[in-house]
Structure 1
Amino acid sequence: MGRRRGGSGGGGGGPGAGAGIGTAVSDRSYYGRAVLKEPVWTPEVALYFWLGGLAGISALLGFGARLVGNHRLARSSILASFVALLGCPPLLVADLGRPGRFYNMLRVFKPTSPMSVGSWVLTGFGGAIGAAALSELSETLLPAGPPAALRWLRALGRPAELVAATLGLPLATYTAVLISDTSVPVWHEARHHLPFVFAGSAAASAGAVAGALTPPRHSGPARFLAVFGSLLELGAAALMERSLGERAEPYRRGPASEAATAARVLTGTGAALLAAAGRRRPVAVAAGALILGGSLAQRFAVLRAGPPSARETRGDNTVKALPGELGRPPRRRSLR
């Protein structure tokens, strides 16, 4: 099969003659292939993004509730954060393939690497929220006070809550920075909006869970956070798609479109229902379930938009090299 060249003969009259590196010369990319490889992230990644956001903002909500003396809401939020965090390491290891790879990411701290920073944030947050949850459980299960050997645990509770709250927002949003720090157009071009989408989604889910677990007379701040987070998520997602222009096509058709539509419907319905629920706990539980479903669907929508966006990095949608700049594809070497 003949290979398409940019010019004829020695090449003075080709379409790309005299042009610099990166000039488009045809309607194809290098040998008809997409420039980028499709991201191959499994569903476990979307679940990890979702649970990490829920855990991070729940810790922040719990610390805020503690500061204003709402100890019942603080307890629900801290324990919800801890339970959500328990699912994160198995999901992360399932995506990495083996536990040793997570350990390897902790051998070096690179401030310029979102994955390195995120690994350390997850580790620090896990220790802090674990100590805070154990302290909370000791106060609940042992109201008369823990044994002398465990009194240090109760004293550690409040400082641990502060550390978890400090790391909560970075944990909820570093995943947005992680995927936008790639060459996939639909992610990279949304780098200014994705952190707000993830933060709003995490706030909505954290408020929804705390609102369902806490008695109505104590859950007002959680319900407010759920509604506010839902509005932030929906608004930021709409602005993101508008700013992407033609690059937002994966959100308009295909698997990402289905997930994005589900996110809008579930989150919007849940927020409206929760705003109208008042102190009716059964309604708050139902609304919270809708918001949680919408938050999870939003993560799937963002991740599913990546592969089709990478496949479109061909033809006039990307920068191509001139003939001769990349050379011919490598030939297979004979084993003889």
Structure 2
Amino acid sequence: MSTSNVGKDGITGERPGREAQVGAGLDDRGLDDRGRGGGARRRRRGRRGEQLMVPEAEFTSYYGRPVLNRPTWQPLDIAGYFFLGGLAGAGSVLAAGAQATGRPVMARALKISSLTAISASTAALIHDLGRPERFVNMLRVFRPTSPMSVGTWLLSAYAPAAGAAAVLDVGGRLPRIGRAATAGAALLGPAVAAYTAVLAANTAVPAWHDGHRELPFVFTGSATTAAAGMALAASPVAENGPAVSAAVFGAVLETGAVKLMEHRLGMVAEPYRQGRAGRLMRLAEGLTVAGAAGAVLAGRRSRTAAAVSGAALLAASACTRFGVFHAGLASADDPKYTVVPQRERLRKAAADAAGGPPAGAP
């Protein structure tokens, strides 16, 4: 350890031979023992690439706080809102198809489930908002650039149509109005099933925002499997044909979109594979495959098999929504999922700028 001190009289206590040797190893001409210039040698080393001696910085923030504020949404309220909205929207589409093809029991069951699901979904949203008047206040303006504003108006248009379709079907009155309400709910159903993915992707949460391309397809596929599961569980075997087809379609769409999203996101996909979210996503995948396989193999022959397959598909859809939700929370808690992608984008932009045409070139 050096014991030198710096005072008003200069440096005292210095040890000999500890001074920095500027240009050491060079002769009077600035050449080394091989006749090469020191500057050229340093430049040549720089071209080969220097090895960093300082490790990458740890991803921490002041007082250990995360870079992003964690969403304050409650899991049961918002993840349940995601799941129930998907079940309602896709159920209305399947109900309209069942009614058009002469499957009255399936159509009625799906209309009732859609009304129940959208009512519970809206209640969960209002409960998370804290006060019911906040939901009403969102209807004072319409902002096309706000997914929450669009979603609020969408729910306000869809819920009465779904309610009229179910009530008039059960009561057996005003069949024309009932058919019109069924068609209206079916037209709005896909948007109701998918818009919550847009709502989540519009945030700064890395696992949601970076997955904005695939997340709507994940939610749509999940909603389709949920509606197919409800139809299988509530319909007679003779009417199960469309539900089996919907189960296969939803399973393929959801599973494919999840795999594509995880592949494209790279390290940001880690929250979908780890912790609580990872367990839920793996459980969702297993239940989806099992439910779709059961529907194909025995859903048209055995009432029990159809009901079990339907329950598996419903549980799979719920696990997907809760898995996506918890993956988002995990990615917001860990600063690296925000910092590392930002660094990579900056490096790529710098590399693109360095390799582009010189400034002022035509």
Q: TM-score range by the shorter chain?
A: 0.7 to 0.9
Gap regions ≥5 residues in structure 2: 1-55, 344-362
Q: 1:53: which partner in 2? A: 86
Q: Distance in 1 between matches of 2:198 and 2:139?
A: 19
Deviations 1:173-222 (A, max 9, x none): 00000000111111111101000110001000101111221111112101
RMSD of aligned Cα (Å): 1.9
Q: 2:232: which partner in 1? A: 211
Q: Distance in 2 between matches of 1:201 and 1:251?
A: 16
Paired AA for residue 219 in structure 1: N
Higher RCO (CA < 8 A, seq sep 6+): 1
Q: 2:193: which partner in 1? A: 172
Q: Distance in 2 between matches of 1:27 and 1:304?
A: 24
* Aligned pair partner of 2:109 in 52, 76, 79: 76
Q: Distance in 2 between matches of 1:318 and 1:288?
A: 40
When normalised by structure 1's length, the TM-score is 0.80
Q: 2:321: which partner in 1? A: 299
Q: 1:41: which partner in 2? A: 73
The secondary structure found in structure 1 opposite 2:140 is: coil
1:190 aligns with 2:211: yes
Q: Do 1:80 and 1:210's aligned partners in 2 also have CA atoms closer than 8 Å?
A: no
Range moving further from structure 2, 224-233 or 190-199: 224-233
Q: Distance in 2 between matches of 1:207 and 1:98?
A: 34
Q: Distance in 2 between matches of 1:35 and 1:76?
A: 46
Q: Do 1:211 and 1:220's aligned partners in 2 also have CA atoms closer than 8 Å?
A: no
The secondary structure found in structure 2 opposite 1:41 is: coil
Count of equivalent residues: 284
* Aligned pair partner of 1:238 in 259, 263, 275: 259
Deviation at 1:33, TM superposition (A): 4.2
* Aligned pair partner of 1:117 in 141, 150, 164: 150
The secondary structure found in structure 2 opposite 1:87 is: helix
Q: Distance in 2 between matches of 1:281 and 1:191?
A: 39
Gap regions ≥5 residues in structure 1: 1-24, 140-145, 147-152, 321-336
Q: Distance in 1 between matches of 2:177 and 2:273?
A: 49
Q: Do 2:218 and 2:257's aligned partners in 1 also have CA atoms closer than 8 Å?
A: yes
Q: 1:18: which partner in 2? A: none
Q: 1:317: which partner in 2? A: 340
The secondary structure found in structure 2 opposite 1:112 is: coil
The 5 Å alignment of 1:118-157 reads 118-139=151-172, 153-157=174-178
Return closer, same or farther for 1:120/1:313 CA change in 2, 3 Å cut-off.
same
Moved segments of 4+, more than 4 Å: 25-30
When normalised by structure 2's length, the TM-score is 0.74
Answer with 1 or 2: which has the greater Rg.
2
